[in-house]
Chain A
Amino acid sequence: MKHKVVDAKDVVIRFAGDSGDGMQLTGSLFANTSAIYGNELSTFPDYPAEIRAPKGTVSGVSGFQVHIGSENVTTPGDYCDLLVAMNPAALMANAKWCKRNAMILVDSDAFDEAGMAKSGFKTDNPFLELKVEDRNIIAAPITSLTEESLKDSGMDPKSVHKCKNMFTLGMACFIFDRPLDYVLQYLENKFGKKHPEMVAPNQKVLKDGFNYAANLQMVPDTYHIAPAKLKKGTYRNITGNQATAWGLMAAAEKAHLQLFCGSYPITPATAILEELAIYKSLGVKTMQAEDEIAGICTAIGASYAGSLAVTTTSGPGLSLKSEALGLAVMTELPLVVVDVQRAGPSTGIPTKTEQTDLNQALYGRNGECPIPVVAAHSPAHCFDAAFSAAKIALEHMTPVMLLSEGFLGNGSEPWLIPSMKDYPEIKPPFATKLPQDGKFKPFERDPETLVPRWALPGQKGFEHRVGGLEKNHDGVLSSAPEIHQMMVDERAAKVRKIADYIPELKVDGPQEGNLLVVGWGGTYGHILSAINEVRQEGKEVSYAHFDYIFPVPRNTGKVLGGFRKVLVCELNSGQFAGYLRTLFPEAEIIKCNKVQGQPFLVGELVDAINKALE
């Protein structure tokens, strides 16, 4: 069977199946294969909160979308070129994401009467019912072909069925002209030591899937996606949560401090604690605390004792940490608090992404309690954002909030590996000399930065007391009105001063004009794609993305002042827009918002930008 090979600039593949079908693994193996092949890529795991929801139901569908291309891949893609649906429920949940000319690959064995009924189909033609009957539908009996492939393996039926995803992956690799080497090696490494008997069957099924697709008339074309023209160097794939953990370790190394992480497991932040727990050889101490409050309080204790201290969480956990955040502000101790945001309020939709914790990060505490807020804008950027958050915390003696998002934490992208020699040293303001009267004054400030000195327990002669009660510069308790006013003002000014130490806001496009599009956090790739599309239509639009939210970069007012209108795009009901309005009341701020637990679609942003340009 000869297939026509089509050169494609980029393609989007969505793997969907039951949460036990191994779609996350299939998707990430396909992504890694493409990364090593040299493509640009972006991934988006979209999975349910239930580990194993009722089999075959729509609520149990787990998806993994991967976008590969030769250039400008900045998002996981809105709609897909290939949808893999391992059962009727996966088709039901995902058919709406198919492009007009998409291929749909289904396991026809799963489309029996029971499967159809469980997923809520009312007719016996699922494709017609979902109005996708005109797409290229490849109905392959994947379950029975996998059984056939392994009939001589002696494996039990349950184990055989677990190999179905490799058959699917083999087919996808054929369709998109991917070599199998990486996956074959992966299987060797994964099972080699503990389950050597699993290596050969999985490899066989993978190859059989590949060959089956090659012999199949139903596959009309195959696609070739040329490698991207990437900068020379060594690359790796990295998820946002991994990059966050690594950025924190990098900061500890540059500060010559031990890293301490006190955390409580919570979706989607848990992977940061899991990652940090591995690297004890870098001197990292992790504590899985008894609750969120103990997570931050052990971190505050460790900070007081002289560690780079971190606590990681998601929205509901951040709520629990609020009181202790105030303590860190009052004691002026360095601390990084990572919030990997998820859909709220309350438990909300734990596995879905959102940017709805911004107000909580900025304001969610009692009293006048300013905390710097930094946001990551892509999975790999989590490394730099975490490094920067830790640097600010340590050099300015303050807790710092690092906002990530489920979309960033679980998403991955190829990353040109940096060298630590290109990162600056971090210099905490350690107390080294006692004043002439021999008494250390814990809240006496550097006149330039307003930062107090850091004296560590164990330092002879620097014994002092800190705590949540208001104190004067000497560390003596005081409820005097003028002292409280002074300390409130100084703590706020200290944080505002950080603006002098962070980069200015960059504008992509003309510095003045009709419309400035503004974003922050994980919407970066989507907004960038939308901006490029709008520009291709010949329109002029500028873009500024905030990595530093509080304090805002020094030139923010000047940037906003250069435009007639400012369109703030964010995955909440307008929290950053409201914040900017408060800071810059003269700016004409309009909004583009979405609160569906899902990232923006590029198309939605293009529409919003075009409307703003009218």
Chain B
Amino acid sequence: MASLSFKDFKSDQEVRWCPGCGDHAVLAALQRALPMVSQSLNYEKERYVVVSGIGCSSRLPYYMDTYGFHSIHGRATAISTGIKVANPWLTVWQACGDGDALAIGGNHFIHAIRRNVDINIILFNNQIYGLTKGQYSPTSKFGAITKTSPYGTVEHPFNPGSLVLGAKGTFFARSLDVTLKLTEEVMTAAALHDGCSVMEMLTNCVIFNDGAHKSISDPAFREDRTIVLRHGEKMVFGKNHDKGLVLNGMGLRVVTIGEGGFTLDDVLVHDAHCQNAGIHMMLADMKYPDFPVALGVIRDVKDVTYDDGVRDQVKEVTRTSNIHCVDDLLHSGSTWEIE
């Protein structure tokens, strides 16, 4: 198979996101990640289907030169599930926003995760409704002032990570629009994961919610306010690599290595494959300024997938049943002859 490149995944359509929108970077990362994935898994381009719902980020399938399905608001996850269950050979990627996946499509989102359907969900989280021009979303911060909350919201936001883990998700990762390499790394890991992979992308909406993630994404202090987790590596962060996470009673604590009696040995080693989601939940929940925001693959565990389960059951019942065509079916059970 000829190897694929970035260009093979670029469609001839003009990209119509606003200049400076975080979505451009996520698209670029996907177009870079898929050739690598194709190389390592020996996937042909025609095997990819990119599905989306409605919203700015849901325009993404038009910009990918793959099979694509731009569906309706909130329902991408159900469409993806149908595609994957009908033909498990296909590899399904999904683009959806925070309003799309967590408000109108919240039900499908948690159930796809619960079932562990082998699809790859890129959740663009800009904490705002962009396409409808600036209303608060289920991830907008408490008190956010938007067009529909002129005095500030009075509702608590979802943290997508805790939602995924609460629904027994098998894969959760997080990245920033500005960390292109990390996004590629996260996408590659998601592709290799059998089961429902959710990648939260913290993206910037330049028009309606500019700077929503600036407090952690700005290069001036990004390394001090985020931690990139990698399986098997120490949970160390900071410009000077001198901060770490340690267990403190039932919770996590940030320490400075070499201070207060803490050494590198005390710092936790990330285990993304641990079935127990306790620490993964704490990592996904970490918020600045008390904690660094966790990036990278937080959880990646094996479990049976729904699409495999459906396919295996069909195989097994076919083996044991004596009904193999509709004529068999029509004559099964109680029948009688009229002479």
Tell me which of A32, A301, A331 contacts B86 (CB under 8 A).
Answer: A301
User: What are the interface flags for A80-116 relative to B under an 8 Å C-beta threshold, 1 for contact and 0 otherwise?
Assistant: 0000000000000000000000000000000000000
Q: Does A468 contact B (CB under 8 A)?
A: yes
Q: Does B40 contact A (CB under 8 A)?
A: no
Shortest beta-carbon distance, A189 to chain B, in Å?
9
- Give every chain B residue within 8 A of A284 (Cβ-Cβ): 314
- Within the assembled complex, what's the spacing in Å between the Cα atoms of A278 and B42? 36
- Within the assembled complex, what's the spacing in Å between the Cα atoms of A43 and B83? 40
Q: Main SS of chain A's interface residues?
A: mixed
- Residue among B66, B70, B82, B333 facing the most chain A CB atoms (10 A cut-off): B82
Q: Which of A107-153 contact B (CB under 8 A)?
A: none
- Give every chain A residue within 8 A of B83 (Cβ-Cβ): 301-302, 304-305, 457
Q: Which of A198-246 contact B (CB under 8 A)?
A: 230-237, 246
Q: Which of A476-517 contact B (CB under 8 A)?
A: 476-477
**Contact B326 A458, beta carbon cutoff 8 Å:** no
**Contact B68 A279, beta carbon cutoff 8 Å:** no
- Within the assembled complex, what's the spacing in Å between the Cα atoms of A459 and B49? 11
Q: Please, which residue of chain B has its CB at the minimum distance from the CB of A245?
A: B329
Tell me which of A249, A290, A297, A468 contacts B70 (CB under 8 A).
Answer: A468
Q: Does A424 contact B (CB under 8 A)?
A: no
- Within the assembled complex, what's the spacing in Å between the Cα atoms of A419 and B325? 11
Contacts A282-B326, A290-B107, A419-B327: A463 and B62 contacting too (C-beta < 8 A)?
Answer: no
Q: Which of B281-339 contact A (CB under 8 A)?
A: 310, 313-314, 317-318, 320-321, 323-327, 329-331, 333-339
Shortest beta-carbon distance, A285 to chain B, in Å?
6
Q: Please, which residue of chain A has its CB at the minimum distance from the CB of B61?
A: A465
Q: Please, which residue of chain B has its CB at the minimum distance from the CB of A233?
A: B338
**Contact A420 B69, beta carbon cutoff 8 Å:** no
Q: Does B89 contact A (CB under 8 A)?
A: yes
Looking at chain B, what size class is its interface with the partner chain? 35 or more
Tell me which of A281, A283, A465 contacts B68 (CB under 8 A).
Answer: A465
Tell me which of B75, B318, B331 contacts A324 (CB under 8 A).
Answer: B75
Contacts A232-B338, A236-B335, A280-B318: A291 and B107 contacting too (C-beta < 8 A)?
Answer: yes
Q: Does A250 contact B (CB under 8 A)?
A: yes
User: What are the interface flags for A285-298 relative to B under an 8 Å C-beta threshold, 1 for contact and 0 otherwise?
Assistant: 10101110110011
Q: How many A-B residue pairs have CB under 8 A?
A: 200
Count A-side interface residues using an 8 Å CB cutoff: 68
User: What are the interface flags for B235-247 relative to A under an 8 Å C-beta threshold, 1 for contact and 0 otherwise?
Assistant: 0000000000000
Q: Which of A245-304 contact B (CB under 8 A)?
A: 246, 249-250, 253, 258, 260, 262, 279-285, 287, 289-291, 293-294, 297-304
Contacts A36-B336, A304-B83, A457-B49: A297 and B71 contacting too (C-beta < 8 A)?
Answer: yes
- Give every chain B residue within 8 A of A524 (Cβ-Cβ): none
- Within the assembled complex, what's the spacing in Å between the Cα atoms of A279 and B329? 9
- Within the assembled complex, what's the spacing in Å between the Cα atoms of A237 and B46? 46
**Contact A463 B45, beta carbon cutoff 8 Å:** yes
Q: Does B44 contact A (CB under 8 A)?
A: yes
**Contact B82 A467, beta carbon cutoff 8 Å:** no
**Contact B108 A294, beta carbon cutoff 8 Å:** yes
**Contact A417 B330, beta carbon cutoff 8 Å:** yes
- Within the assembled complex, what's the spacing in Å between the Cα atoms of A300 and B320? 30
Contacts A234-B336, A260-B86: A301 and B79 contacting too (C-beta < 8 A)?
Answer: yes
- Give every chain B residue within 8 A of A282 (Cβ-Cβ): 323-326, 329
Q: Does B193 contact A (CB under 8 A)?
A: no
- Give every chain B residue within 8 A of A468 (Cβ-Cβ): 54, 70-72
Q: Does A469 contact B (CB under 8 A)?
A: yes
Q: Does B194 contact A (CB under 8 A)?
A: no
Q: Please, which residue of chain B has its CB at the minimum distance from the CB of A461?
A: B46
- Within the assembled complex, what's the spacing in Å between the Cα atoms of A234 and B90? 43
Q: Does A172 contact B (CB under 8 A)?
A: no
**Contact B82 A249, beta carbon cutoff 8 Å:** no
- Within the assembled complex, what's the spacing in Å between the Cα atoms of A291 and B111? 10
Closest 3 CB pairs of A and B: A301-B82, A467-B70, A297-B78
Question: What are 5 inter-chain pairs, A to B, with CB distance below 8 A?
Answer: A246-B330, A280-B313, A301-B83, A304-B49, A420-B330
Which residues from chain B sit less than 8 Å from chain A, CB to CB?
A: 11, 13, 44-47, 49, 51, 54, 61-62, 65-72, 75, 78-87, 89-90, 107-108, 111, 310, 313-314, 317-318, 320-321, 323-327, 329-331, 333-339
Known: A294-B81, A457-B46, A469-B70. 4 other contacts (CB 8 A): A281-B320, A309-B82, A458-B47, A464-B68
Which residues from chain A sit less than 8 Å from chain B, CB to CB?
A: 32, 35-36, 38, 230-237, 246, 249-250, 253, 258, 260, 262, 279-285, 287, 289-291, 293-294, 297-307, 309, 323-324, 326-327, 331, 417-420, 457-469, 476-477
